[in-house]
Amino acid sequence: MKVAGTQAVEVKLLDPRFGDEWPLPAYATSASAGMDLRAALEAALTLQPGDAALIPSGISLHLADPHLCAVVLPRSGLGHRHGIVLGNGTGLIDADYQGPLLISVWNRGHEAFTVHPGDRIAQLVVLPIVRVEFQVVDTFAEHAGSARGAGGFGHTGVR
């Protein structure tokens, strides 16, 4: 069922535990930006410090709209408390991708961490895409509101 103000995206359930043991990915609140992705593992997986693994999410999706993409992001609590982050930082899903969503998980912490089947290990955010064409110039035109100018990386300092 499509909710007013949302855009339908096709999803394939690759794991039969969805709908029975696990709910479909969904927004937890009306203001949530992301939907949690689960570890569709057959058995628990222990990641030692420094270990990385590719974990199936149990779904595939097809955005279809070339003005959309999806990103797989880490869950902040897992990263901060346990050192569990994404092995590739952020996963990008193009609108024409239709394969399974796999989650690269990395234990950057100092203790072993066990991922159990059904654990929420990442989140999926769908974003709009603006397509651009590069215009080669020798200098940039002055634009109102661009006070930074040629200020480089970190030029504003910490305080």
Give per-residue pLDDT as tens, 50-86.
999 999 999 999 999 999 999 999 998 999 999 999 9
Q: Is 68 annotated as a binding residue?
A: no
Is residue 107 marked as binding? Answer: no
pLDDT at 89: 86
- How many angstroms separate the Cα of 140 from the Cα of each of 15, 136, 143, 149, 150? 52, 10, 9, 9, 10
Q: Are 131 and 82 in contact (CB under 8 A)?
A: no
**Residue linked to tokens 């709009």:** 128
Is residue 113 very low, low, confident or very high in pLDDT (cuts 50, 70, 90)? very high
Global pTM? 0.84
Residue 88 annotated as part of some ligand binding site: yes
Give residue limits of the domains in the chain. 33-128
93 is in an annotated binding site: yes
Annotated binding-site residue? 92: yes
Higher-confidence residue of 129 and 143: namely 129
Residue 123 clears pLDDT 90, i.e. is over it: yes
Average pLDDT over residues 17-45: 95
- Domain 33-128 homologous superfamily, CATH: Deoxyuridine triphosphatase (dUTPase) (2.70.40.10)
